[in-house]
Amino acid sequence: MKLHDATRRAHLPGEVLLKQEVSNAVPIAVESLKSETCLYYRFAGHVTPEDFDTLHASEDTICADLPGDRCLGVVADFDALETIGAPLFPRLQHMRLMTDSRFCVVVVIGANSYLRALAISLGLTNDTREFVFRDTLDEALAVIQNHPRLNSAPPVTASH
């Protein structure tokens, strides 16, 4: 199967179906999952600086509707990413998943050794987020569903 023909599916809690179309995908997309307590970021193809501008507009809209008083999760899916250059590292640091204090658990999937190192570097710059690495979207969603910080979390405070 060619990359542009691929479709991935994963079941969310409550039998909600997430369908990821890789064909004609924007390089970075974000959507809310699990009753708006988790965001799903999908990285695909070659990412450019302009893709981050588009992402920021999407993040502003989605994040405005998220709860403001609890710990939230993120799934960062790098499975379809072909490349992201080192000069874009500062732009990654300014994504909402790194700057918004509500996001405390980031589950990374599909990351090769370079992307794992990049995610770990991002985590080192911000000690309020826990980074977890998994191989599949289903495994990532299981982490989100069962993680104690996300499911019995007290409201997010300035000390988190």
pLDDT band at 67 (very low <50, low <70, confident <90, very high): confident
From the list 157, 150, 160, 155, the residue with the least C-alpha distance to 38 is: 150
Task: Give the mean model confidence (pLDDT) for residues 32-40.
Answer: 80
Task: Give the mean model confidence (pLDDT) for residues 42-47.
Answer: 92
Tokens 């008083």 -> residue:
69
Cα–Cα distance measured from residue 66 to residue 138, given in angstroms and rounded to the nearest whole number: 23
**For the whole model, what pTM was predicted?**
0.77
Q: Is residue 44 part of a domain?
A: yes
Q: Is residue 156 part of a domain?
A: no
pLDDT score of 35: 64
Q: Is residue 49 part of a domain?
A: yes
How many structural domains is the chain composed of?
A: 1
Cα–Cα distance measured from residue 27 to residue 42, given in angstroms and rounded to the nearest whole number: 8
Q: Is residue 119 part of a domain?
A: yes
What SS3 class is residue 7?
Answer: strand
CATH of the domain at 74: 3.30.750.24
From the list 72, 63, 77, 71, the residue with the least C-alpha distance to 29 is: 77
Mean pLDDT of the chain: 78
Tokens 């104690």 -> residue:
148
Q: Is residue 159 part of a domain?
A: no
Cα–Cα distance measured from residue 76 to residue 124, given in angstroms and rounded to the nearest whole number: 17
Q: Is residue 42 part of a domain?
A: yes
Domain boundaries, position 18: 3-151
pLDDT at 77 over 90: yes
Note the pLDDT tens digit of each residue in 97-151: 888 889 999 999 998 888 888 777 776 666 778 889 999 999 999 999 898 888 7
Q: Which two tokens stand for residue 137?
A: 């979207």
